[in-house]
């Protein structure tokens, strides 16, 4: 991770194919395309790879979360339970629909704590959105049971864990809908892009229309298409889709490299008793995009993070002090700072966040370091890197 590290002839070929053809928009211009439909080809490849009936490629992972929730019927006043450790896009998609993000604690999986989810359910709850952070997943079996019991939707945000599996099924394919991001730093990239995958035919049809201004895509005259309902523009371009089409063909190569490098690092760090790795739910296999571990205390973790930086060990994140990924620094959300007026119901829901302490989550995030696994490393570079990491950790201990 990320796929841009290994751009090559395949990506250049697909992009040049679009440029030579001249049609950069994914819809319309049928007569000019000469049969070139990169976004559609990418959707077919996603369906095959992730064993689902439908895929809709979109402009970003944020768009994917928004569209997945919208086609599931989530809207004004509905509550969506999600973790307090995620990327800001997860709650942005909820708020964009006028719904209320209900943040709950995480556990040592770095994802939703099941008991916290149960306690957060109210008559307004419409969906549970687990976020499979940093390459691994929530306890999806437990969440499926909860959703069935309370008749709730399960929408997976798998944007950071593409390639991971749970009980033999690809992450993103287990809930009512799943979402991916293909931005510049993802395991495979479109530069900018995302996707919704689902087995629900009605959701898929709605996603196709909703993401293109409500066009129904019937016939071959775009100007004559009907609009069954309001939509927005979440389309991907053919150029972006072309990059992704090349990258998904290399997906096994990328996952294999991630696993190889991850394993070298984990085996070495396992020799340090004070290093405790995140819990992966039974039956789950990580995507190996990150290696995540806990140290004994917040103070030690801060010291190690600073030592990593001084030693030139890049791409290791201490999310406790990070502005983008943990509730502790989300002042714009906690203070409901918006360019446009929010509904009273939404403002009231956001105000409740300020009454929560997230002590349990602090306990895990404060002691966690999450280190990106790069595709471009040589084996010698990985070996030297983990030696340097171990030296920093042992010095702090």
Q: Can you spell out the DSSP letters for 335-380?
A: TT--SSPPPHHHHHHHHGGGG---HHHHHHHTTEEEEEPPSS--HH
**Residue 31: predicted pLDDT:** 87
Q: Which residue segments constitute the domains of the chain, with CATH numbers given?
A: 3-250 (3.40.640.10), 252-396 (3.90.1150.10)
With contact defined as beta carbons under 8 Å apart, do 313 and 392 qualify? Answer: yes
List alpha helices for 233-273, DSSP H. 238-248, 251-269
Between CA 266 and CA 8 the distance in angstroms is 29
Sign (positive/negative) of CA torsion 156, 162, 168, 173?
A: positive
pLDDT at 91: 98
Rounded Cα gap, residues 294 and 36, in angstroms: 48
Query: Comparing C-alpha atoms, which of 166, 185, 184 is closest to residue 175?
Result: 166
Residues forming a β-bridge with 127: 80, 153
Please report the pLDDT score of residue 70 as a whole number: 98
Q: Given strand 100-104, what is the order of strands in its sheet?
A: 54-58, 194-198, 177-181, 153-157, 125-128, 79-83, 100-104
Question: Residue 76 has what DSSP assignment?
Answer: T
pLDDT of residue 1: 81
Tokens 């990327």 locate to 87
DSSP character at residue 222: G
pLDDT one digit per residue (tens) for the chain, 397 residues:
899 999 999 999 999 999 999 999 999 998 898 889 999 999 999 999 999 999 999 999 999 999 999 999 999 999 999 999 999 999 999 999 999 999 999 999 999 999 999 999 999 999 999 999 999 999 999 999 999 999 999 999 999 999 999 999 999 999 999 999 999 999 999 999 999 999 999 999 999 999 999 999 999 899 999 999 999 999 999 999 999 999 999 999 999 999 999 999 999 999 999 999 999 999 999 999 999 999 999 999 999 999 999 999 999 999 999 999 999 999 999 999 999 999 999 999 999 999 999 999 999 999 999 999 999 999 999 999 999 999 999 999 9
CA–CA dist 229, 210 (Å, integer) = 8
| Number of Cβ atoms within 10 Å of the Cβ of 172 | 31
Token code pair at residue 134:
């940093």
Contact 256, 27 (CB under 8 A): no
Task: Report angle CA 47, 371, 306 to the nearest 5 degrees.
Answer: 155
Contacts of 258 (CB under 8 A, 6+ apart): 1, 163, 187, 287, 288, 289, 373, 375
My answer on whether omega of the bond before 17 falls inside 30° of 0, hence cis, is: no
**Chain CA centroid to CA 163, Å:** 11
């Amino acid at each position: 991770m990320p796929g841009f590290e290994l751009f090559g002839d395949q990506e250049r070929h697909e992009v040049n194919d679009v440029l030579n053809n001249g049609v950069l928009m994914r819809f319309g211009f049928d007569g000019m395309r000469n049969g070139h439909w990169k976004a559609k080809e990418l959707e077919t490849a996603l369906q095959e790879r992730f064993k689902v009936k439908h895929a809709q490629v979109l402009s970003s992972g944020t768009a994917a979360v928004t569209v997945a929730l919208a086609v599931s019927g989530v809207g004004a006043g509905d509550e969506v339970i999600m973790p307090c450790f995620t990327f800001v896009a997860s709650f942005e998609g909820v708020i964009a629909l006028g719904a209320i993000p209900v943040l709950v604690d995480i556990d040592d999986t770095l994802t939703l704590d099941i008991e916290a989810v149960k306690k957060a359910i109210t008559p307004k709850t419409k969906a549970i959105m687990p976020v499979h952070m940093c390459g691994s997943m929530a306890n999806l079996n437990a969440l499926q049971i909860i959703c069935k019991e309370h008749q709730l939707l399960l929408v997976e945000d798998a944007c950071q864990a593409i390639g991971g599996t749970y009980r033999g099924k690809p992450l993103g394919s287990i809930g009512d809908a799943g979402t991916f991001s293909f931005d510049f730093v993802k395991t495979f990239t479109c530069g900018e892009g995302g996707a919704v995958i689902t087995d629900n035919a009605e959701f898929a049809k709605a996603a196709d229309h909703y993401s293109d201004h409500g066009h129904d895509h019937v016939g071959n005259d775009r100007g004559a298409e009907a609009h069954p309902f309001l939509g927005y523009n979440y389309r991907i371009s053919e150029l972006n889709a072309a990059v992704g089409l090349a990258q998904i063909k290399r997906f096994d190569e990328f996952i294999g490299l991630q696993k190889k490098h991850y394993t070298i690092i984990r085996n070495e760090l396992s020799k340090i008793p004070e290093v405790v790795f995140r819990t992966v739910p039974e039956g789950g296999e990580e995507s190996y995009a990150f290696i995540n571990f806990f140290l004994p205390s917040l103070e030690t973790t801060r010291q190690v993070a600073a030592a990593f930086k001084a030693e030139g060990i890049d791409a290791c994140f201490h999310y406790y002090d990070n502005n983008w990924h943990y509730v502790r620094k989300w002042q714009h959300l906690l203070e409901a700072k918006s360019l446009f007026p929010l509904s009273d119901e939404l403002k009231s829901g956001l105000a409740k966040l300020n009454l929560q302490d997230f002590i349990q989550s602090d306990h895990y995030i404060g002691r966690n370091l999450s280190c990106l696994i790069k595709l471009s490393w040589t084996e010698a570079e990985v070996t030297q890197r983990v030696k340097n990491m171990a030296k920093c950790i042992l010095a702090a201990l």
